Structure 1
Amino acid sequence: MENPFKKIPTILMPDELMEKALRRGEKVANEMRQKPLPSLIKSKMVEEHKVRTIGSVVADNLQKVIDKAPAVRKLPKFYQEMVEILVGIDEFKKSLGAFKWASDLVKKLTNEYAKKIRRSRTPQQAAKFRKEFVGRVKSILKQIHPEMAFIAVAREKLKDLPTFKDLPTIAIAGYPNVGKSTILKALTGADVEINNYPFTTKGINVGYMDNIQMLDTPGLLDRPLYERNDIELQAILALNYLADIILFVIDASEYCGYSLDEQISLLKEISELFKLPIILAINKIDLIDKERLNKIRDMLKNYEVIEISADKGINLDKLKEILKKRAIESYKSKLRC
């Protein structure tokens, strides 16, 4: 599905929102001043239109955020978990509740002060009511400033989450710098950042290979789940909720900075944690000799293994065909369940 947080509009802070509302109110007032009406009637109409315009701009802006924000508990489990990890579901809902409270209160005050202005007896009294209204609206926005700031930060964190399609899905997993992004780019042509240092991938990159969805997950470190950081948890969520199969990548050269034993230990952890088919890609075979390759083959003889060099393009066509076949099989199996 499309990222449900992309539609949340830019969050204006209290001063920005009031400036926008006051500017719009003054524009409407100037239009009213051009009308040939008796002085008192014109003054009251100018002030009432200012109040209604200011109230409308503020309330509508707040309401638009509420309307465009998704109901988190109705989202697919992956997105629910991402909200919890990145910003916190309860805080997200609480902050949107503050927007609702403020929007409703501004609407109520708008009607109350419009009536007061219509009943006013002098231009000065009408202006006094308008100033009082503006002060109260400013006070309301000041009260929800923390929630506005929170939603602004949440929007920035959530709006760039990738869009996922209901397709057979392969999650690419493994330690940082083993070549996951290179494989994704080689197989799908996806435009991903590839650099020779750990944690280049700061989120989940998505590519497509003949109606197969491939996810390049952040590098996973081999330590207990509760010690993992947000980047690693994104990878775990991708594997848990999105993947039909896992392509686990091992750097045969160990140039990634992690030993073969460490990489195999992580492979075993992934195998135990996720009950999914695993295809094992031994990458960077162009950088090792035959003796070392034979040793690695023996260590991984219980897995479905393909030996590749993503950088040199060795065996990538073979890898592609195996992945497509296994992903479609697993996807169809899930549909039958």
Structure 2
Amino acid sequence: MVLYNFKKITVVPSGKDFVDIVLSRTQRQTPTVVHKGYSISRIRQFYMRKVKFTQQTFHDKLSTILEEFPRLDEVHPFYGDLMNVLYDKDHYKLALGQLNTARNLIEKICKDYVRLLKYGDSLYRCKQLKKAALGRMCTVMKRVGPSLAYLEQVRQHMARLPSIDPNTRTILICGYPNVGKSSFINKITRADVEVQPYAFTTKSLFVGHTDYKYLRWQVIDTPGILDHPLEDRNTIEMLSITALAHLRAAVLFFIDLSGSCGYSIAQQAALFKSIKPLFANKPLIIVCNKTDLQPLETLAEDERQIIQELKKEASKCAAGQLINAVPDDDDGCLLTMSTMTEEGVIAVKNAACERLLQQRVEVKMKSKKISDCLNRIHVAMPRPRDTKERPPCIPQAVIEARAKSNANRERKLEKDLENEHGGAGVYSVNMHKHYLLAVEDWKEDVVPEIIDGHNIADFVDVDILQRLDELEREEDALAEAALANDDEDMSEEELSPEEMQALAVIRRKKKKLLEEHRLKKTTADSRPIVPRRHDKDREYTSSRMGRHLVSMGLDPSAALNRVRSRSASRRGRKRERSTIGEDDADAMDIDQPSKRLRARSRSRSQSRALTEAIPGEGFKDTAQKQKAVKLAQKASKKRNKNARRGEGDRVIVNLKPKHLFSGKRSIGKTDRR
């Protein structure tokens, strides 16, 4: 899992580009036209909006830069020290602090000038205040230009840093330059690190990934380290020192036995002793490389003695960090290999991975969390209840199934038979041996396809011609019977009255079905549903409903009266005045309410005048609204004349009018435009 990804940091523009971006955005996203004929409050609001928008744009962009750049106090110590080595922690913090100060200054400038704009007494005064506000903001941004340029360089370099997870399983390779570190990481991972026969080819950290025991491992190649004091080491060497100091990894210290790297074994041993404190609490393996040029057994006695001393010190480190390690058993602390012949490369990788896994398990066992896990784990061991032996019992069905599977497994396949009998092209597969026939000898019989020039299938049925003649005679008899039936058709004159009536019913029914089918076919599902009162066939009538209710033994009078009253109300009949009592007739005027209702309906349908004031619009009376409408029309008169959509419409319909850009110009002045 990658915890830190610096490739997504937003690009930091320079001071001049920053100002151009913000001012261009202000020009594009705020109104650009204001007239001296506007009210002073509208003019003030116009310029205050520009100042506030500019300040907010500066604030958003600066906040994005400050939030996306990592804070050294919040990242992992490895990345904190790495950035201190590469970019100088003080310079980095100072640049971010200057941007934060610029953001606060711009906010303060905005507040001051907005306060002054509230009391601007003319368009000119407001415009000058706006220019001063934007000018001071741009001056502040130009002063922090060097900080922006520095942060852009830092961003570009951070984007090229490898994604290193400080908490995952890691193998760290270190040693003198040109001892084979990059060749080793290229062999065990998919990384492609440049390898050259000179020192300091690797100038930065490179990361590769490999697999061991179904786990993903991170392998880091560090630049070469020279044996001199810490304060004399350059930036490239400090990258390796930072990785050794902060990453919990298995360390592989490479030694060149052949001396082709330019440094003797004694010098390499001195480097090991000088950086030995960085190996504390880490699995350590000394790797003797380039054994194809100089085997370990052929070294001089004094050099072999140096190697043995390094081996003992490495074993002491292992004994100090692992609880179950034995100091005398130091075979795993010294390994030999050759990246040229790849001899021992995989053994070195496996040993480093195994030591790191063991160390991580030991650390977890010593932690306080292991007690919580052990409290939840219980291994039950059943106690014997008697002295009787109970050997494992396998059911008979399982034994038979195993025997069947073994028999199937032992059965030879066609591929096996083909390999036994000469292979492909020599062995021919028998396709008939699995046929299920009544007699086994029939499997190998050869069945011909052609006999005496005829297809053998023609001779399967000996009576086929006789059956064909019978079938043809039967077809002729059926055809003659059909002709006879056509001649004997009855005419309508010979039908009885009952048959004629039945025939007429059948024809009507057939015609109706045809019409319904055609209607469905033409209109499909888009045809309208006709209400019952419009049906032409009068299938659903009140009289029919009455007859149906009478047949059911019900009284249809109430239902029929209700239907008739509804139909009468639809035709616009007035209600009978019998519903009003005779005593109330004098006290109540029937015609008067209807007159009031008609008058109210007429007043409601009339439209209100445009200049009439409506409660809630914010006008005191109609006169004030008329005056406001007249001012609005007067202000938009020039804009409408120029076919503008609004105050912010700056579209030029015709950039090159034909009468100005066509034809020849005579000798003389051309400044008439």
**Amino acid aligned to 1:16:** D
Hey, what does 1:148 align to over in structure 2? 148
> Which residue, 214, 217, 223 being the options, matches 2:219?
214
TM-score (norm 1): 0.87
Task: Name the SS for the 2:130 alignment partner.
Answer: helix
Specify every segment of 5 or more residues in structure 2 that has no aligned partner in the other structure, as ranges. 312-332, 368-673
Change in 2 beyond 3 A, CA 1:38/1:186: farther
Contact 1:172/1:215, CA 8 A, preserved across alignment: yes
Q: Who wins on radius of gyration, i.e. which is larger? A: 2
Hey, what does 2:109 align to over in structure 1? 109
Comparing 67-76 and 109-118, the one that deviates more? 109-118
Displacement of 1:262 in angstroms is 1.3
Q: 1:174-213 maps to which residues of 2 (within 5 A)? A: 174-210=175-211, 211-213=216-218
Contact 2:288/2:337, CA 8 A, preserved across alignment: yes
Hey, what does 1:71 align to over in structure 2? 71
Q: 1:83-102 maps to which residues of 2 (within 5 A)? A: 83-102=83-102
1:283 aligns with 2:285: no
How far apart, in 1, do the equivalents of 2:5 and 2:32 lie? 44
Contact 1:244/1:331, CA 8 A, preserved across alignment: no
Hey, what does 1:53 align to over in structure 2? 53
Displacement of 1:138 in angstroms is 2.0
Comparing 316-325 and 154-163, the one that deviates more? 154-163
Hey, what does 2:667 align to over in structure 1? none
Hey, what does 1:231 align to over in structure 2? 236
Comparing 320-329 and 1-10, the one that deviates more? 1-10
How far apart, in 2, do the equivalents of 1:269 and 1:183 lie? 24
Specify every segment of 5 or more residues in structure 1 that has no aligned partner in the other structure, as ranges. none
Displacement of 1:291 in angstroms is 5.7
1:269 aligns with 2:269: no
> Which residue, 360, 381, 384 being the options, matches 1:331?
360
Contact 1:285/1:293, CA 8 A, preserved across alignment: no
Displacement of 1:174 in angstroms is 0.4
Change in 2 beyond 3 A, CA 1:270/1:290: closer
How far apart, in 2, do the equivalents of 1:216 and 1:75 lie? 22
Contact 1:28/1:50, CA 8 A, preserved across alignment: no
Task: Name the SS for the 1:321 alignment partner.
Answer: helix
Task: Name the SS for the 1:53 alignment partner.
Answer: helix
How far apart, in 2, do the equivalents of 1:313 and 1:224 lie? 35
Comparing 315-324 and 296-305, the one that deviates more? 296-305
Task: Name the SS for the 1:171 alignment partner.
Answer: strand
**Amino acid aligned to 1:270:** I
Comparing 325-334 and 297-306, the one that deviates more? 297-306
Hey, what does 1:243 align to over in structure 2? 248
1:322 aligns with 2:329: no
Contact 1:178/1:251, CA 8 A, preserved across alignment: yes
How far apart, in 2, do the equivalents of 1:246 and 1:11 lie? 38
**Amino acid aligned to 1:143:** R
Task: Name the SS for the 1:209 alignment partner.
Answer: strand
Displacement of 1:172 in angstroms is 0.3
Task: Name the SS for the 1:288 alignment partner.
Answer: coil
Displacement of 1:272 in angstroms is 4.4
**Amino acid aligned to 1:215:** I
1:170 aligns with 2:171: yes
How far apart, in 2, do the equivalents of 1:138 and 1:158 lie? 28
Hey, what does 2:262 align to over in structure 1? 257
How far apart, in 2, do the equivalents of 1:230 and 1:334 lie? 33
Hey, what does 1:301 align to over in structure 2? 308
**Amino acid aligned to 1:190:** A
Displacement of 1:241 in angstroms is 1.0
How far apart, in 2, do the equivalents of 1:43 and 1:91 lie? 45
Comparing 215-224 and 289-298, the one that deviates more? 289-298
How far apart, in 2, do the equivalents of 1:242 and 1:290 lie? 31
**Amino acid aligned to 2:137:** V
Q: Give CA-to-partner distance per residue, 1:72-101, whole Å, 9 cap, x none.
A: 222222122223322333332233222112
Hey, what does 2:127 align to over in structure 1? 127
Displacement of 1:306 in angstroms is 1.6
How far apart, in 2, do the equivalents of 1:197 and 1:243 lie? 30
Contact 2:283/2:352, CA 8 A, preserved across alignment: no
Task: Name the SS for the 2:73 alignment partner.
Answer: helix
> Considering only aligned residues, what root-mean-square deviation do their CA atoms show, in Å?
2.8
Comparing 309-318 and 47-56, the one that deviates more? 47-56
**Amino acid aligned to 1:19:** D
What fraction of aligned residue pairs are identical, expressed as a percent? 30
**Amino acid aligned to 1:286:** D
Displacement of 1:40 in angstroms is 5.9
Q: Give CA-to-partner distance per residue, 1:223-277, whole Å, 9 cap, x none.
A: 1111111111111111111033210111222222222221122123233442233
Comparing 75-84 and 129-138, the one that deviates more? 75-84
TM-score (norm 2): 0.46
Displacement of 1:202 in angstroms is 1.6
Displacement of 1:133 in angstroms is 1.1
